[in-house]
Amino acid sequence: MQGKFITLEGIEGSGKSTNLKVIKDIFDQNKIDYVITREPGGGPLGPHLRKLLLDKDQSISPSVEMLLMMADRKDHVDNLIKPNLDKGVWVISDRYLDSTIAYQGGGRQLDINLITSLSAALKLPSPDFTLLFDLPVDVALHRAEERSELDRFEREPKDFHSRIRDSYLELASNNHRIRTVDSSKDIESVSMQVEKYLTDFLNA
């Protein structure tokens, strides 16, 4: 049987990575065989592409940025995501196609149809289930600033991040596979929401 494909999405500082532990615990309790991966950077070419894409001193045009994200994704899908799903192993990816729709479509204002057409042409699989970590942009950016030195995306103005958040919320309202977690709450309340949504998905 095919493994299930689960993705985590959200703006900078939204708490995706913090909640990986909760997700792992639920999978372990349910004896599910899984791999955890991320974008950009999950395929064999990933480390090079990720370094280039996040480098704050690199100047990259919006369409080239989108194409590099899609190239990274195709490499990731062909070499890690698909082989695992085909073996029955579940894949949890920290970011996937919704990130390109929100960041390059919403944030950089590229044509979303171009992104979805390219994804279809490349035969990229759709996630079975997505958790969207949502919170106000001010709170999220403050958290990201406290975390580490800011990368090329985190340095963008607030408007850019607000457009990304709006795109994500629109995606969530149009796609039943996406569950929105209120990430502005304390860690415990966020973990409880993650646990509930994931358990509901496992029992569906």
**Residues of this chain that bind ligand TYD (CB under 6 A):** 12, 16-17, 39-40, 54, 69, 94-95, 99-100, 103-104, 151, 153
The 3-state secondary structure of 139-152 reads HHHHHHHHHCCCCC
CB of 31 to ligand TYD, least distance (A): 28
Cβ atoms of 185 and 19 closer than 8 Å: no
Of 94, 118, 101, 115, the C-alpha closest to 164 is 101
CB of 151 to ligand TYD, least distance (A): 6
Indicate the residue among 90 and 103 with the shorter CB distance to ligand TYD. Answer: 103
Q: Residue 160: phi, psi to the nearest 5? A: -60, -45
CB of 1 to ligand TYD, least distance (A): 27
Indicate the residue among 12 and 75 with the shorter CB distance to ligand TYD. Answer: 12
Indicate the residue among 17 and 117 with the shorter CB distance to ligand TYD. Answer: 17
Indicate the residue among 167 and 193 with the shorter CB distance to ligand TYD. Answer: 167
**Which segments of 78-157 does DSSP mark as H helices, in order?**
82-87, 97-99, 112-121, 137-147
202 C-beta neighbours (distance < 10 Å), count: 14
User: Strand runs (DSSP E) across the chain, as ranges?
Assistant: 5-10, 34-38, 90-94, 129-134, 178-182
Question: What residues contact residue 155 under an 8 Å CB cut-off, 6+ apart?
Answer: 56
Indicate the residue among 149 and 188 with the shorter CB distance to ligand TYD. Answer: 149
CB of 75 to ligand TYD, least distance (A): 12
CB of 188 to ligand TYD, least distance (A): 21
CB of 90 to ligand TYD, least distance (A): 19
Indicate the residue among 52 and 202 with the shorter CB distance to ligand TYD. Answer: 52
Calculate the alpha carbon distances from 139 to 113, 135, 143, 181 in Å: 31, 7, 6, 15
- Nearest 5°: the CA angle 99, 105, 126 is 45
